[in-house]
Amino acid sequence: DGGITQSPKYLFRKEGQNVTLSCEQNLNHDAMYWYRQDPGQGLRLIYYSQIVNDFQKGDIAEGYSVSREKKESFPLTVTSAQKNPTAFYLCASGVEQFFGPGTRLTVL
């Protein structure tokens, strides 16, 4: 079955640590996206990639980094520079934005 997966579902991080969120898709989509969702709010774009080895910053890229070495994979690293990383993170692929199930990141 085609789809988009994110792991882990829940992630806990200590202050000062970098963490990497995984996003994998087997839908053969060129475009992939990372969003952040805070309680009671809509989604905000962190980074997007239209093709392998290329990506662009979204509205809130500071404190985050990405890579796109393979078409299927678009991992997001939340660095220690991100001041308020506790949020729900959603990955999507394709023009119609098929979404993964999300990762809930909590900073302890």
Binding site for other proteins (CB under 8 A): 31, 33, 35, 37, 40-45, 48, 50, 56, 58, 88, 90, 92, 95-99, 101-102
SS3 annotation, 25-76: ECCCCCCEEEEEECCCCCEEEEEEEEECCEEEECCCCCCEEECCCECCECCE
CA distance 108 to 97: 31
SS3 annotation, 81-105: CCCCCCEEEEEEECCCCEECCCEEE
Q: What tokens does 100 get?
A: 């993964």
Q: How far apart are CB 19 and other proteins at their closest, in Å?
A: 19
Q: How far apart are CB 64 and other proteins at their closest, in Å?
A: 17
Nearest residue (CB) to other proteins, 15 versus 96: 96
Nearest residue (CB) to other proteins, 16 versus 39: 39
Q: How far apart are CB 81 and other proteins at their closest, in Å?
A: 24
Nearest residue (CB) to other proteins, 47 versus 107: 47
Q: How far apart are CB 23 and other proteins at their closest, in Å?
A: 13
